[in-house]
Amino acid sequence: MFGILVQKELKAILLSPKFAVTFGICAFLLLLSVFIGISEYNASVKQYDTGKQLADQQLREQSSFRMIQTKAFRRPDPMQIFVSGLTYDLGRWAGINQISSPRLRSSAYSEDPIFAVFRFVDLAFVVTVVLSLLAVLFTYDAVCGERESGTLPLVFSNAVPRAQYLLAKGIGAWIGLVVPVVLALLLCMLMVILAGVPMTGEHWLRTGLLMLISLLFFTSFMVIGLFISALTRRSSVSFLVSLVVWVAFVLIIPRAGVIAAGQIVRVPSVAEIQGQRDAFARDRWNLFRQDLDSLFENRRGAEPDSMTEEAMWTHMQTQDSMRRAIELDINAFEAKLYEDLSRRRNVQERLAFSLSRVSPASAFQLAAMSLAGTDLDLKRRYEDGLMIFRTQFVDYANKKTEDSPGGFQISFSSDKGMSIGTPRSKAQLDLTDMPTFVPPVQQIGATVEGLLVDAGLLTLYSLLAFAGAFVAFLRYDVR
Amino acid sequence: MMLEVPGAAMLEAVTLTKRYEDGVLALDHVSFAVKPGQIFAMLGANGAGKTTAINLFLNFIEPTDGEARIDGIVTHKEPLLAKQRVAYVSENVMLYPNFTAVQNLDYFARLGGKTGYTKDDYRSVLLRVGLSEDAHNKRLKGFSKGMRQKCGIAIAILKDAPAILLDEPTSGLDPKAGFEFQQLLDSLRTEGKAILMSTHDIFRAKEVADIIAIMNNGRIVMQEPASRLLGQDLERLYMQYMAGHTAAEAVA
Ligand SMILES: Nc1ncnc2c1ncn2[C@@H]1O[C@H](COP(=O)(O)OP(=O)(O)OP(=O)(O)O)[C@@H](O)[C@H]1O
Ligand SMILES: [Mg+2]
């Protein structure tokens, strides 16, 4: 019985005219997205290579280890072809020097803002928007459409168990749609191979998992469509409801989750933090000046006009150490502010993602981005990696400066400000053992662990929707 | 003409009652029995409750009181078991528009538990119900109501169930097909099927049925063997019952 039902569903889908059209469009979009992804990736690689060469050249041209600086580049990753995520929002390189902490700058979107207008169309986008719509379009009238066309009574004049019928509807439609979608995805993979994208084994593993989670996402929308079809009696109503649900899940909830989290957990802006820091610093310095004044008063009161050189010296030393202590204090305060900021940001982010995950579309997008390594973690990974590299680089430069003094002479002091001496030699620098920036990699173990949550959620949504469809269909009036 | 058919009833309504959710009492303690080899015809105005009775036999709706039995099985208690024993033709047969006539027949035959039919079987049954051969492998999309009705009847024949429910099966059939359908019913009766049929065709009912029942407002107001109505003007009788006369007044 079950086989007969599934077979019929499959046949009905394959024979329906909308199948060829929608599948054609869908396959075309998937292939197009990968094509665009590949060319963008190739462009990024080119930019990366030339950028690095240029930076190496500039490094060799520097004359002193004192002022030495370099650039660290973010390496393009083949996974960005499928899920661009934050790739085009994050800067491509960071300046590494002794003075300021490294920041990624010049993102693709900031350089070519036209792309930011509609964003890149990647495979994840096509899956999130087009495939989910396709899934709903094929199942929204699964039950109510048959009732409307009047075939349900004849079907249920036979000894057909309702559960089997519903399951067969789901499975039949699933096979009918998933097989062509998988074929289209395989074509995309073929395109990646033919384009010579350097995919490692791990890349393929990630891609495979991405395909699996895409199918899981696709399935969840199919079952949601089935659920709606079992809740309604007319397909026009079902169509409307499906559309509203689709808009809510794909377009609204993901954004609403983030906005709501922003309201619930407030994160101060960087400007606010700067303000707090400045206020703190001003207070401290004011206090210091008062202390200094009273110290001076005291001394004058005790032994007027008899400041020996020695006393003067100790006085200056005390002053100096006080100054340093205050600077440390301010730095510590600022560090605490930033720590608090990043802690709050984490809480906000977690809340935003948890809220958004109510929608299968967000669960899928988060999973896809983390699989591709283009999620928010990409920024953190690079920030951490750049910090470490900067420390290594500065240490190296300092060591080299001690070994071979020369170049600029820079000295800072709080009262005199900065002074720069003149270079003494112009010899080539020996950069053989200079540390190089190794782009941070994402650990696959952690990725898979995070993936399980989203995969579990998508499965849960599918099961819940099917259970709902089942309960609704048990009481469905087939007439 | 009517023979006293021995044996238990195949289709049986026992004080069958249906009150819809909106309060309409569509069927009010109706009882009747159809034995194998009998044709039971229900006449009655629109809204008299004929379709309601048939839907109760198919468990499409649950009875408010009483029960419908097929081969002794109470339909709302064991619907799957009961449905194995019954074939059904609705007053407006709807099939899958993207499937051909033969594909539709094949699917529904399989659903009815008959998997052994060949292409020839489908061809001969479609010819038997009067669907011309050039339509057999056409999609249902372009079929007229009568053509669909013929396919529906063919599906019921293929199921080869001991009980058959026909809800105005001849609606939409042309006169020739209607006549052929009458012959078909005859042969089904000879095969020993128990047939419950609702119809508005008084004359054909009189010719083909073994028992004739007239329904009004959810009640059976007259139920007689066709043999006893032989000399009577059934149409006049029907009008009298519809006008609300009691059985005694009408027969008098
Ligand atoms: N789903 C329903 N909900 C409420 N009332 C209904 C429903 N279906 C039928 N009825 C009512 O039940 C009564 C009997 O309807 P039914 O369809 O059984 O009549 P019928 O004898 O088959 O009529 P027709 O000759 O027009 O086919 C009517 O008054 C009708 O309005
Ligand atoms: Mg009716």
d(Cα B244, Cα A203) in Å, to the nearest integer?
83
Q: Does residue B48's CB lie within 6 angstroms of at least one atom of ligand 1?
A: yes
Asked if residue A359 lies in contact with residue A221, where contact means CB atoms within 8 angstroms, the answer is no
Going from the C-alpha of B201 to that of each of B147, B153, B168, B220, the distances in angstroms are 19, 17, 9, 17
Fill in the amino acid letter for B26.
A
What are the beta bridge partners of residue A270? Answer: none
Between chains, do B111 and A155 touch, taking CB under 8 Å as contact? Answer: yes
Instruction: Give the SS3 label for residue A213.
Output: helix
d(Cα A173, Cα A146) in Å, to the nearest integer?
14
Confidence at residue B58, expressed as pLDDT on a 0 to 100 scale: 95
Dist. CA B193 → ligand 2 center (Å)? 22
What are the beta bridge partners of residue A70? Answer: A96
Statement: residue B207 has pLDDT above 80 = yes
Strand-strand pairing, A104-107 and A410-413:
unpaired
Dist. CA A83 → ligand 2 center (Å)? 58
A5 to chain B: closest CA residue: B111
Ligand nearest to the CA of B23: 1
pLDDT tens digits for A201-227? 999 999 999 999 999 999 999 999 999
Which atom from ligand 1 is nearest to the alpha carbon of B53?
A: 18
Residue A309 buriedness (CB in 10 A; 0-12 / 13-18 / 19+): exposed
Listed residues: CB within 5 A of ion ligand 2: B 51
Q: What angle do CA A378, A382, A388 make, to 5 degrees?
A: 150
pLDDT tens digits for B123-154? 999 999 889 999 999 999 989 988 999 999 99
Residues of A in contact with B76 (CB under 8 A): none
d(Cα B217, Cα B22) in Å, to the nearest integer?
16
- Across the range A55-82, mean pLDDT stands at 85
DSSP annotation of B100 reads B
d(Cα A205, Cα A182) in Å, to the nearest integer?
16
- Across the range A471-477, mean pLDDT stands at 93
Which atom from ligand 1 is nearest to the alpha carbon of B52?
A: 18
Between chains, do B95 and A151 touch, taking CB under 8 Å as contact? Answer: yes
**For testing contact with chain A, the best of B80, B91, B96, B145 (most A CBs within 10 A):** B96
Fill in the amino acid letter for A113.
P
Cite the DSSP H helix spans in A62-157: 108-111, 113-118, 123-125, 132-139, 144-149, 152-155
Instruction: Give the SS3 label for residue B196.
Output: strand
Which residues of B sit within 8 Å Cβ distance of A? Answer: 55, 58, 60-61, 79-81, 83-84, 86-88, 90, 92-99, 103, 107-108, 110-113, 152, 155, 159, 165
Statement: residue B249 has pLDDT above 70 = no
Between chains, do B60 and A477 touch, taking CB under 8 Å as contact? Answer: yes
Asked if residue A296 lies in contact with residue A240, where contact means CB atoms within 8 angstroms, the answer is no
Q: Write the Ramachandran bin of A305: left for phi over 0, alpha for psi from -120 to 50, otherwise beta.
A: left
Query: To test the ligand 1 pocket, which listed residue (B16, B17, B18, B20) has its Cβ within 8 A of the most ligand atoms?
Result: B20
Dist. CA B52 → ligand 1 center (Å)? 6
Asked if residue A142 lies in contact with residue A16, where contact means CB atoms within 8 angstroms, the answer is no
Instruction: Give the SS3 label for residue B159.
Output: helix
Which atom from ligand 1 is nearest to the alpha carbon of A477?
A: 1
Residues 6+ apart with CB under 8 A from A412: A418
Tell me the nearest-neighbour CA distance from B27 into chain A, angstroms.
17
Asked if residue A4 lies in contact with residue B107, where contact means CB atoms within 8 angstroms, the answer is yes
Going from the C-alpha of B102 to that of each of A53, A296, B214, the distances in angstroms are 71, 111, 37
Q: In what order do the strands lie in the sheet with B25-34?
A: B25-34, B11-19, B65-70, B73-74
Asked if residue A221 lies in contact with residue A360, where contact means CB atoms within 8 angstroms, the answer is yes
Q: Does residue B47's CB lie within 6 angstroms of at least one atom of ligand 1?
A: yes
pLDDT tens digits for B32-83? 999 999 999 999 989 999 999 999 999 999 999 999 999 999 999 999 999 9
Dist. CA A213 → ligand 2 center (Å)? 50
**Matching residue, tokens 């259970």:** A467
Confidence at residue B22, expressed as pLDDT on a 0 to 100 scale: 93
Q: Does residue B51's CB lie within 6 angstroms of at least one atom of ligand 1?
A: yes
Output phi, psi for B27, to 5 deg.
-140, 130
State if pTM tops 0.90.
Answer: no
Q: What angle do CA A23, B141, A157 make, to 5 degrees?
A: 100
**For testing contact with chain B, the best of A154, A164, A235, A477 (most B CBs within 10 A):** A154
B61 to chain A: closest CA residue: A477
- For ligand 1, atom 2, the nearest C-alpha belongs to B20
Q: Which residue has the higher pLDDT, A155 or A316?
A: A155
Query: To test the ligand 1 pocket, which listed residue (B52, B57, B165, B217) has its Cβ within 8 A of the most ligand atoms?
Result: B52
A16 to chain B: closest CA residue: B98
pLDDT tens digits for B83-100? 999 999 998 999 999 899
DSSP annotation of B139 reads B
Which atom from ligand 1 is nearest to the alpha carbon of B61?
A: 1
Nearest to A108 by CA among A390, A385, A439, A374: A374
Confidence at residue B3, expressed as pLDDT on a 0 to 100 scale: 46
The pair of structure tokens assigned to A175 is 């096979």
Nearest to B89 by CA among B150, B140, B137, B133: B150
Statement: residue A101 has pLDDT above 60 = yes
Output phi, psi for A417, to 5 deg.
85, -150
Give A162-168 contacts, CB < 8 A, sequence gap 24+.
Answer: A162/A473, A162/A474, A162/A476, A163/A470, A163/A474, A164/A1, A164/A2, A164/A5, A165/A5, A165/A473, A166/A226, A166/A230, A166/A469, A166/A470, A166/A473, A167/A2, A168/A2, A168/A5, A168/A6, A168/A8, A168/A9
Tell me the nearest-neighbour CA distance from B192 into chain A, angstroms.
20
d(Cα A357, Cα A372) in Å, to the nearest integer?
18
- For ligand 1, atom 26, the nearest C-alpha belongs to B46
The pair of structure tokens assigned to B126 is 């479609």
Between chains, do A158 and B111 touch, taking CB under 8 Å as contact? Answer: yes
Q: Does residue B24's CB lie within 6 angstroms of at least one atom of ligand 1?
A: yes
Worst-scoring range by mean pLDDT, A272-281, B80-89, B100-109? A272-281
Residues 6+ apart with CB under 8 A from B63: B16, B17, B18, B27, B56, B76
Residues of A in contact with B145 (CB under 8 A): none
DSSP annotation of B6 reads -
Statement: residue A252 has pLDDT above 70 = yes
Q: What mean pLDDT value characterizes chain B?
A: 89
